Structure 1
């Protein structure tokens, strides 16, 4: 081997190593499982947790209203409110202002 072949061989190995390192660095930062994607997933996770808490509160409210209208526990005030809202009922002694 000559000195010229050794230099070109070393340069080729260094070039391949550099490009492989650059590729893996890029993939670690911007790839499908990279740092940027991880930050996006964390932000989306926090947003979904807030939405889940809101939905759980709404479900609890609906369960309470459902229980209050069930046969075993009848809330007359809620029944009156629902009848007025859905059916548009009024008592004889009430005045409606629009």
Structure 2
């Protein structure tokens, strides 16, 4: 009795090579692709930065709305009006000394 080493068929080797190649491609695409894990992490970081920028812009808008309301005809803030007259028109009071 002679023992022959059985070798897998060539078709089986090709099948596993193709399956391994496809698996490697899909794993790479899932990690590095346009919709992969790394891109998702980048998008989350970018979304956090945009949320922070939005909060800052909303605070600026709120501040400007407050200043606009304080200078409106319905509500006049004398201190704010005085500040604007000084800044925009360059006015000073009679009891003040200008130092240049």
Q: Which residue number corresponds to residue 42 of structure 2?
A: 40
> What TM-score results when the alignment is normalised by the length of structure 2?
0.89
- Structure 1 unaligned runs (5+)? none
Superposition pairs for residues 67-82 of structure 1, below 5 Å?
67-82=69-84
**Cα RMSD after superposing both structures:** 1.5
Partner Cα separation in structure 2 for residue 12 and residue 82 of structure 1: 81
Of 22, 25, 28, the match for 1:23: 25
> What TM-score results when the alignment is normalised by the length of structure 1?
0.91
Q: Which residue number corresponds to residue 65 of structure 2?
A: 63
Partner Cα separation in structure 2 for residue 32 and residue 22 of structure 1: 16
Q: Which residue number corresponds to residue 9 of structure 1?
A: 11
Partner Cα separation in structure 2 for residue 47 and residue 84 of structure 1: 37
Shift of 1:75: 0.8
Larger radius of gyration: 2
Higher helix share: 1
- Structure 2 unaligned runs (5+)? 1-5
Shift of 1:70: 0.4
